[in-house]
Amino acid sequence: MAIERTFSIIKPDAVAKNLIGAIYHRFETAGLKIVAAKMVHLSQEQAEGFYAEHSERPFFKALVSFMTSGPVMVQVLEGENAVLRHREIMGATNPADALAGTLRADYADSIDENAVHGSDAAASAAREIAYFFSDEEVCPRTR
């Protein structure tokens, strides 16, 4: 399996709970390297654009409202099979369904405020990385 990149968000609820370091520790322990990162407070336009695929869903308004409610950390993670590996570390969308030891089981309160986002495929990872980072902002890890 080749080295792959995925896109991650630590959502406003987890930032508010001071969990940035704990979540980074999970990524690093799992062998995922952080190759770009920044804190941003999303505008409504940014959040709507990011979640455009869900614009017709009943939860869209609440999702945009939540994602703009406070700062988030956005990062690019690099590693073997990074997209799937990251989704495994995150756990199911609804924390009630998430396996023990996953980020959402441990840190999320509800399906609406579920601590983290991760790309669901290689194509969406490329699109989401480009949504937040220029090529120069992503730092390949050579060691």
Residues that bind ligand RTP (CB under 6 A): 54, 59, 63, 93, 111-112, 114, 117-118, 120
User: CA-to-CA distance for 101 and 75, rounded, in angstroms?
Assistant: 21
Tell me which amino acid residue 122 is.
Answer: A
Provide the minimum distance between the beta carbon of 136 and ligand RTP in the complex, in angstroms, as a whole number.
26
Q: Which is nearer to ligand RTP, 110 or 141 (CB)?
A: 110
6 is in an annotated binding site: no
3-state secondary structure of 64: helix
The response to whether 27 counts as a known ligand-binding position is: no
- Report which DSSP code applies to 108: -
List active site positions: 117
Residue 11 counted as an annotated binding residue: yes
Who's near 89: CB < 8 A, 6+ residues apart?
A: 26, 27, 30, 32, 102, 103
Binding-site entries for ATP: 11, 59, 87, 93, 104, 114
Residues of the binding site:
11, 59, 87, 93, 104, 114
